[in-house]
Each structure stands twice: as structure tokens, then as C-alpha cells.
Amino acid sequence: MQVHETVRHRIRVADGERGGSTYRQRAVFVPKGLAGHLYWAVVWPFHGVVFGGMVRNIANEAELHKNFRKS
């Protein structure tokens, strides 16, 4: 996909306070011009599904490998 807008996707994982981990995800899209705003209006409703699924998949994989940590 060729995009002329500003797009950022940040994922952070850190050790949790009570063991476990904290997962944070942030996506930023700054549209430019009418075409960018129209694109965002069309794709915005699907982002909850896409990013929600991504979070679930990452959490499931982490749960599968929770005992595989470097000492």
C-alpha cells in the first residue's frame, strides 16, 4: 500500500508489576488532503477488528510461551 500520509505503529512490551507482562499498542494515522480523509473514513471501522485480532493473537502466543523466558 502506498501512503503519503503519516503512519506510525508502536508496540511496547514490558515486565508487569506483579509478574507477567504489559502490552501496549498505538497506531497513528494523520491523513493529508481529501483523499487521505476519505481513505480514513472507509478503513477506520475495520481497525478495531484488525488490531483487536492482533492483540488477541499476540496474547495467545505469549501465553503459550510464558515459561520460555531468558534467565
Predicted TM-score (pTM) above 0.75:
no
End-to-end alpha-carbon separation of the chain, Å? 40
Residue 4 vs residue 36, higher pLDDT: 36
pLDDT over 80 at 39, yes or no? yes
Q: What is the pLDDT of residue 68?
A: 66
Q: What is the pLDDT of residue 4?
A: 66
Question: Could you tell me if residue 15 is left (phi over 0), alpha (psi between -120 and 50 degrees) or otherwise beta?
Answer: beta
For range 23-37, the mean pLDDT = 87
